[in-house]
Structure 1
Amino acid sequence: MGALRALFLTKPLTRRLCIAVSRKPSYLHKLGTEPLSPETTGQIVDRAAQEWGDRDALVSVHQGHRLSFRKAKEEADKLAAGLLGLGLKTGDRLGICGPNSSHWYLTFIAAAQAGFVLVNINPAYQIPELQYCLTKVGVKALIAPESFKTQRYHEMVCAIAPEVNTCAPGQIRSKRLPDLSSLIMITDRQLPGAFRFSDVVESATPELVSTVQQLQSQIQPDDGCNLQFTSGTTGQPKATLLNHHNTVNNMLIFGKRAELSRKAHRICLQVPFFHCFGNVLGIMASLIYGATIVLPGASFKAEESIEAIQKERCTVVYGTPTMYVDLLAIAKKTKNLNTDTLDLGMGAGALFSKELIQDILQTFKLRRFCVGYGMTETSPLSFLSMPDDTPEKQTSTVGCIMDHVEAKVVDANGKMVPFGTPGELLIRGYLNMLGYWDEDGRTKEILGLDRWVRTGDQFVLQEDGYGQVVGRIKEMIIRGGENIFPKEIEQVLEQHSEILEAQVIGVPDSRLGEEVCACLRLVDGAKLTADQVKQYCKGKIAHFKIPRHIRFMADFPKTVSGKIQKFKLQKMVLEEKSLGTG
C-alpha cells in the first residue's frame, strides 16, 4: 500500500479475546451468495430514479435543500450536460473541493452520468496541496464554493494561477495549472474567470441532456470513475483510481449485510463526502438501496446532528469514534431527547472501544452497531459485521470477510502464517483499485502482478472469517478519522531555518484516537517555541496535520547504521508524565 493505513478500524486485538491458533494457512475465499453486478454508477442512478422517484434522496438541512431521486437525476443530468457544453469529455477529470452540500451530491451523480472521473479534494487543503492535486491528475474543471470556514477557494486558485483574474470563464490558460480550463464556483456572485454553478446547470440544452443519456450505453463498469487522494511515503498524496465495478459491488454487498434493504432508511451522514466513508458508503449505498441521505451541516457539529436526527426521523447514523463521543455528550445534555427512530449505527475511520460501542447502543437504543475494516484501495470494505454477531464479536473484531473477497495473512517473507497468527493482511478480488494515478512504481509496491493488495496492517485471521487488527506495519497516524503520513509534515518542518531535523509520530488521544506529535532537533543557538512551530505550519499543511504536541530533543534514538528508531522515540514520549503542547 505504501501510504494509506486502513480506513475502517475497530479496537485492535483485545486481551479479553482468546485467539485460537490453527495449523491451517491463513487463507480464505468468501464465496458470494449472488453473482457480482455489471452495472455502472449511472445505471444505478437511473434505476433509483425509476424505482423511488418521489422519495427523498437528499435532505441538506443546513442549506434547506430537499431532492427526490427523480429530481436529483434531472438536475445532475443537466449539470453533466452543462459540463459537456464547456468541453469536458468522458474520461476527463472533474474536481470537487468543498464541504458536504447538495452541490457535492449532484456533482457525484453528474460525473457518473457523463463518464467523468470525479476527483475528491479535501476542503482543508492549503494552496500547495490544492495545486499538487489539480496538477497530479490533470483536473480539467474544478467545482468549489466561494468559501468555507477560513478557506477562500477562488482566491486560492488565483494564487496558484493569477491568469484566472483576467481570463474569460472557461478560458483558463495557466502554466502552473496546465490542464485546468474551467473554474465553477458555488456562489451567487460573478467572480473573475469563473462560471457560477447554477449557470452551468441552466446552460444545458435538450440536445446535450440527450447526449448524456446516450453515453450510458458507452460507459463500462471497468472504466475509472473516482480518484481519491491518500497519503504517500514520499510525503505527497497518491491518487487512488477506483472503477464502477469496485464501488457498485462493494456497496451491493455492504448494504445487504448492513440491512439497508430492510426498509426505506434515512441516514444521518456526519462524515465528509470527500472520504470513501461519505461518498461510497454514503452516496453510492443510498442510491442502490433507496436510502435518504440527511446532511445535518456542512461539516460535523454534534448539536446539528442531534437536531437533524430528531427532525428528519433518521434511522441510521454514520460516524467516526470522535463524532460519536461528541454526539453522546450532546445527547446526554439534550432535554426530551427523542431518537427512537434510530435503528442502526455505522462506525468507521478509527479505533472503537467496547465501552464506546456499548454507550452508543444504550444511549440511542440501537438494534445494531456495524463495525468494519477496509481502505481506499479496496473501495473500501473487505470485512464487516454480520447481522447476528454477538457483542463480543462486535467489539473485539473488525467483522467477517466480505463476499467475493480473498484474504490471506503472511509473514515478512510473504509466506502464509497459520490461522490465529499475526502477520500482514493481503486482500484480492473485484474490490481492488486500478492503481495509483501516474504512479506505476508506487502501485507495484502495494498491488502485485498476482493482484494481491498489501494492507500494511498486522492482522489475525480466524477460520470462521473474522479478523482483528493487531497493530500497524506502517507509521500512518489516524487522527479523528483523518489519515496522516508523518513524512509530509516532517518535510514542511525541516524547511524551517531553525529546525535541523524533524520526526513526527502518533500519540494516543482520548477523543481523536491519536494526535500528531512532532519531535524536533534545532540548530545550535535556536530558541524556537512550540507556538512558533504551529504558526509556521499554518497555510502550509491542512489544519488537522499541524502537530498538537511539540517536543524539542537533543538527539533521536538510532540504529548502528544511523536509522531513526521511531518506535523507541514514541516510547520515550509516552513515558513522559504529561503530553502538553509545549
Structure 2
Amino acid sequence: MNNSMNHTDIERVKCRNKYDNLDQPGLSYLYNAGNEPLKYSTVGQIIEEATRKYEEIHAIVSMHDGKRITYKEVLHQSDKLAAGFLSLGLEKGDKIALWAPNIAEWVIVFFAAARAGLAMVAINPSYKPLELQHALNITAAKALVCLDKYKTLNFYDTLQCLIPGLETSDAGTISSENVPSLKFIIVISEETLGGTYNYNDVLNAVDNNLIDDIIRNQNVSPEDTCNIQFSSGTTGKPKAVCSSHFQLVNNSYMISKRLDLADGQHIFCVQSPLFHVLGAIGCILTATQVGAKLVLAAPMYDSKEILKALEQERCTLILGTPTLYVDLINIQKEMKKKLYTHRAFITGSPWSPAVIVKIKDVLNIKKITYAYGGTETSGAVFISLPNAYENDQMNNDGYIADHVEVKVVDNHKTIVPFGTPGELYVRGYLTLSGYLGNAAATREVLDEDNWYKTGDNFILYQDGSGKVVGRAKDMIIRGGENISPTEIEDLINTHPDILESQVIGIEDERLGEEVCACVRLKEGVTLNLDSLKSFCEGKISNYKIPTYLKIMESFPKTPSGKVQKQLLRQQFDRTFTSVIESH
C-alpha cells in the first residue's frame, strides 16, 4: 500500500484557499479535497472485506488470557453475537452499551453491534454508579454488555447499586427508575448472574444456518449511527457524540493512508483504552483497514505489560498519548527489552520535543506520526505526512486530512492570517452532527454553517500543517483523558466545609496536566488533600479526583464577577507549585 501524500497533494491544499488575494497575506482557511473519493461503506462491510483479504491472519492477540483470534474468527464470532443480540429482542437502531476494559470481547462486541445495525455506546470501565447512570440514560441504552469483575472493578456490584433486586431477577425482566431504558444485561463471566444473560449463551443462541440471513436482513446504511462516545467539555457532565459508519470508516482509512502501512504486515500495540476515539477508530478500525494484528497488552493500562508485549509479539507500531510514551520510556530504561517497533502514532494531548527525542533514542523509533483530532471529529483532523519523519515535523501536529475544511478565527470570528493564533474551526464529513439529547451544548460548538468550534487555540500554515498552541476552553487533559472542571466543582461544592471551588489544570511533566482544586472554606474550618480525596472517592472516577489542593481567600474575577480561570492558572505555574498541597 503506497498512498503517500506528495508535494502535489500539498499544492492542491494550498490552492483551495479562496481567501488568498494579492493585497494581503493569505488567510487561515484551507480545504483539502483529497485525491480519491470517500468510501460509502459500513463498519460491518470493512470487517467482512478484511476477512476476505486476511482470513487466517491474527486480528486480535489478548496477552492476559492467551487468546489469538483470526480475522475469519472475528467475523464469525461477531455475526454469531449480532444474531444473538437480535434474538433477545434488540432491533436495528437500538443503543447497546459496552462497559469493559481492553479485552478481546470488546472488539467482537464492537463489530457485532455494527453488523446488527445497533449503535454501540462506549463506556469508561472505571465509571462509578452515577456516571454509569448518566451514560445509560443520556443514550437511552436498551442493552448493556459488561464484565462481571476485573481486579478492583466490580461491574456487577455497581449494577446492583443502580438496579435494586437485580440479583433475584430473571434475565430480560429488569426494571429500574434509575435506568428506565435498560432491558437487557449481558455479562462476560464464567457463571450466569441474577438478572443477566451470559455472554457465551447469547453468542451461541442462534443456529449457524440462520445467522447470515439475520445479518443480511438488517440493511445497515453507512449513514446510520454506529458508535457513541463521551466527550467531557468545560461544562457539566460528559456529552454523547454520535458517529456514523461513514465517518468511522473514512477517518480510519485516512489514518491508514498517512501511516502508509503495507497490507497484512503490521502488528499494532494498543496503549489507549478502546472506549476512546483513539482506541476504537485509531486502533481497531485502522488495523482492520490494513489487516494488522491488534495486540492487547493488558485489560487496564500497565506500561510493563505493554513493554513485554512489544518484545514478545514483535510489534511494529505503537499507538497512544504522550503520557503513555513517557511511562514506556521510563520502564524501558530499567527493563531494556529488545524492541522491534519502528513506528509510533502519538495524539490525544500536547507533547514536548523532549519526549519525541526520547521516543527516538530510548525506544529506537524513528518514524513518528503526529495527529490532532478528537471525539467530536470522529478521529484525526491533522495527521503527519507518511514520508516526512524528520525534525521538520516535530513542530507541528500534522497536515490537514483529506476531505476536511479548516479555518482559524479571532474573537470576532474573523479569519486570521496564516501563522497567527486563533480558534480552530473544522467542517466536513468527520464532524459531529450534535450532542445526543443536548441541544444547548450542540449550539455552543456548531454554528449555523455547521462549523465545529474546537475551542483550541491553533496556528495554521499555508503548507497545510498546523499546531495547537493552547486551549480556549478550560477542559483539563490528564494523560489523554478529557476532564470537565465543572463536573468536579459540582461535587466539591457539596462538601460541608467548602464555600466555593474552582478546578483547573496544573502543568505536569508526565501526564500533561493534573487536577487542582482551588477552594474557599467556611470560616473556622480546615481541609487537607486527603480528606478531600476521601470525600470524592466512589462519587467520580479516580482520574478526576484532585491531585492538588489550594486554599484560597478569593478568586480573580472580571468586573462582572466572572472567575478568570486563566489568571488563576497563571498563579500556579512551576515556580509556585510548592505552595500547593499535593502527594
TM-score class, shorter-chain normalisation, is over 0.9
Q: Which residue of 2 aligns with 1:357?
A: 356
Displacement of 1:473: 0.4
Q: Is the 8 A contact 2:233 2:475 kept in 1?
A: no
**Counterpart of 2:270 in structure 1: which amino acid?**
L
Secondary structure at the residue paired with 2:408? strand
What residue number does 1:126 align with? 128
Deviations 1:90-112 (A, max 9, x none): 11101001110011010001011
Number of positions where the alignment pairs a residue of Structure 1 with one of Structure 2: 559
Amino acid at match of 2:302: K
Shift of residue 334, structure 1, vs aligned partner: 2.1
Whole-angstrom CA distance in 1 between matches of 2:359 and 2:232: 31
How big is the shift at 1:220? 0.9
Q: CA deviation at 1:149?
A: 3.3
Structure 2 counterpart of 1:188, which letter? E
Q: Which runs of 5+ in 2 are unaligned?
A: 1-22
Partner SS state of residue 306, structure 2: helix
In structure 1, the residue matched to 2:255 is 254
What is the DSSP-based 3-state SS (H/G/I as helix, E as strand, rest coil) of the residue aligned with 1:352? Answer: coil
List per-residue Cα deviations over 1:180-223 (Å, max 9, x = no partner): 1111111112211111111110112236512343146x111111
In structure 2, what residue type is equivalent to 1:237?
P
Partner of 1:403: 402
Question: SS at 2:91's partner residue?
Answer: coil
- Structure 1 counterpart of 2:300: 299
User: Are 2:426 and 1:423 aligned?
Assistant: no
Displacement after TM superposition at 1:311 (Å):
1.1
SS in 2 for 1:28: strand
Does the residue aligned with 1:242 lie in a helix, a strand or coil? strand
Question: 1:102 and 1:409 mapped to 2: Cα distance?
Answer: 41
User: Quick check: 1:267–1:314 contact (8 Å CA) kept in 2?
Assistant: yes
The aligned residue for residue 48 of structure 1 is 50
CA contact 2:231–2:376 (8 Å) conserved in 1:
no
The equivalent of 2:529 in structure 1 is 530
* 2:192 corresponds to 1:200: no
| SS class of match (1:111) | helix
Structure 2 match to 1:342: 341
Cα distance in 2 for partners of 1:294, 1:135 equals 33
**Structure 1 residue 388 displacement after superposition:** 2.6
- 8 Å Cα contact 2:226-2:243 kept in structure 1: yes
Deviation, structure 1 residue 438 = 1.3
Structure 2 residue 147 is the aligned partner of structure 1 residue 145: yes
SS at match of 1:38: coil
Which residue is 2:390 aligned to?
A: 391
Q: Determine which structure has greater relative contact order: mean sequence separation of CA pairs < 8 Å that are 6+ residues apart, divided by chain length.
A: 1
**Is the CA contact (8 Å cut-off) linking 2:42 and 2:221 kept in structure 1?**
yes
Taking only aligned residues, the RMSD between alpha carbons, in angstroms, comes to 1.6
| 1:394 shift after superposition | 2.2
Q: Which residue of structure 2 lines up, in the alignment, with residue 280 of structure 1?
A: 281
In 2, the alpha carbon distance for the partners of 1:390 and 1:105 equals 31
Q: 2: CA distance between counterparts of 1:528 and 1:359?
A: 40
- Report the counterpart of residue 441 of structure 1 in structure 2: 440
Relative distance call for 1:363 and 1:240 in structure 2 (3 A) is same
Residue 546 of structure 2 corresponds to which residue in structure 1? 547
Matching residue of 1:15: none
Amino acid at match of 2:147: P
CA distance in 2 between counterparts of 1:60 and 1:169 reads 29
Q: Percent identity?
A: 41
Are the counterparts in 2 of residues 243 and 434 from structure 1 also a CA contact under 8 Å?
no
- 8 Å contact from structure 2 (residues 550, 581) kept in 1: no
Q: CA deviation at 1:432?
A: 1.1
Pair 334,304 (structure 1): closer, same or farther in 2 beyond 3 Å: same
d(CA) in 1 for partners of 2:514, 2:235:
21
- Which whole-Å CA distance do the structure 1 matches of 2:577 and 2:329 have between them? 29
Aligned residue identity for 2:362: T
Residues 299-326 of structure 1 show CA distances to partners (whole Å, capped at 9, x for unaligned) of 1212111111111111111121121111
- Map of 1:229 onto structure 2: 230
Q: Distance in 2 between matches of 1:529 and 1:342?
A: 45
What is the correspondence of 1:6-21 to structure 2 with a 5 Å cutoff? none
Change in Cα spacing, 1:208 to 1:359, as seen in structure 2 (3 Å) is same
Secondary structure of the equivalent of 1:469?
strand
How much has 1:362 moved relative to structure 2? Answer: 2.4
Q: Is the 8 A contact 2:223 2:244 kept in 1?
A: yes
Residue type of the alignment partner of 2:176:
S
Equivalent position of 1:16 in the other structure:
none
Q: 2:40 aligns with which of 38, 47, 55?
A: 38
Offset from partner CA, 1:470-510 (integer Å, 9 cap, x none): 11100011101100110000000001111110100000111
1:232/1:332 Cα in 2 relative to 1: closer, same or farther (>3 Å)?
A: closer
Q: Is the 8 A contact 1:409 1:416 kept in 2?
A: yes
Distance change in 2, residues 1:367/1:581 (3 Å):
closer
Residue in 1 that maps onto 2:19: none
List alignment gaps of at least 5 residues for structure 1. 1-20
8 Å CA contact 1:260, 1:291 repeated in 2: no
**In structure 2, C-alpha distance between the alignment counterparts of 1:315 and 1:215, rounded to whole Å:** 39
Measure, in 2, the Cα distance between the counterparts of 1:386 and 1:323.
23
Shift of 1:387: 2.0
Letter of the structure 2 residue corresponding to residue 298 of structure 1: P
Distance 1:66 1:214 in 2: 27
Q: 1 CA distance for matches of 2:309 and 2:81?
A: 28
**1:410 Cα deviation (Å)?**
0.9
